Chains A and B, each alone.
Chain A
Amino acid sequence: MPFLYLRAIALIMIMFGCGFLGVFYSEKFHKRVLHLVDFQNALNTFKFNVDFLESPLYEALKNIATESSVVKKIFENISDKLRNFSNVRIDEIFKEIIHKFEEELFIKDEDVSILVEFSDKLGQGNKEHEINNINLALMKLKLSEEMAREEEKINQKLYRGIGFLVGIFIVILLV
């Protein structure tokens, strides 16, 4: 009799474990949207710093405050690196820092390329050029966010469903 209970508990654990895996996997689509929104907020703050406060690049990057700690950490790291090493290219720093936080970030390669492209043109022109560059990056991020939202709508339900169904499938095979 205890063996039966143990077996039932193990089967329930397998089922919910698979379901949880599905939910966990589906969360990455939601997190991608959140991170894209955070990057847009960060760039808006950056735009304000450049346009109205006219702060230097490292200070403008340092002042970026967003809800997500990862995005904030990225910009803080970039700012620190810029202040400490004046002879390095900013796009290289962007690439390096984004690569460093790769595991915490849920954005795709195409989103990273938008940010790297933005950083490539950063600090190379006057204020107007900088604002245009930020606006362009914001526009691209907005488009990316819309696509990410559509992807989230489709994939979130799918992965949750697949997780639980695969769990039930395994349970049926084991019974």
Chain B
Amino acid sequence: MLGIDLIFKVAAIGIIVAVLNQLLVRSGREDQAMMTTLAGLVVVLLMVIEQISYLFETVKNMFGL
């Protein structure tokens, strides 16, 4: 259940960042659009970092490393 929630959250953030990016690019603020995209990426990475760490742990346990 938590996984699905996280996926929806990431999708929603993706949509919002894409719209923000378009808004900024159309008003001639390419630099800020780039920064917004990067900020969105960082936020999403912070959200999924726990899951990624969990994935690595599982892989390590699976192969007995």
Contact = CB atoms under 8 A, between A and B. Distances in A.
> Does chain A bind chain B?
yes
Interface of A: 154-155, 157-158, 161-162, 165, 168-169, 172-173, 175
B11 to A, nearest CB: 10
Given A154-B28, A155-B27, A162 B9 contact: no
| SS class, residues of chain A in contact with chain B | helix
Nearest to B39: A169
Determine chain B's interface SS by DSSP, over half rule: helix
A158 B23 contact: yes
Given A154-B27, A154-B28, A155-B27, A172 B12 contact: yes
Interface in B4-55: 9, 12-13, 16, 19-20, 23-24, 27-29, 43
A175 B20 CA distance: 20
A154 B16 CA distance: 20
A162 B13 contact: no
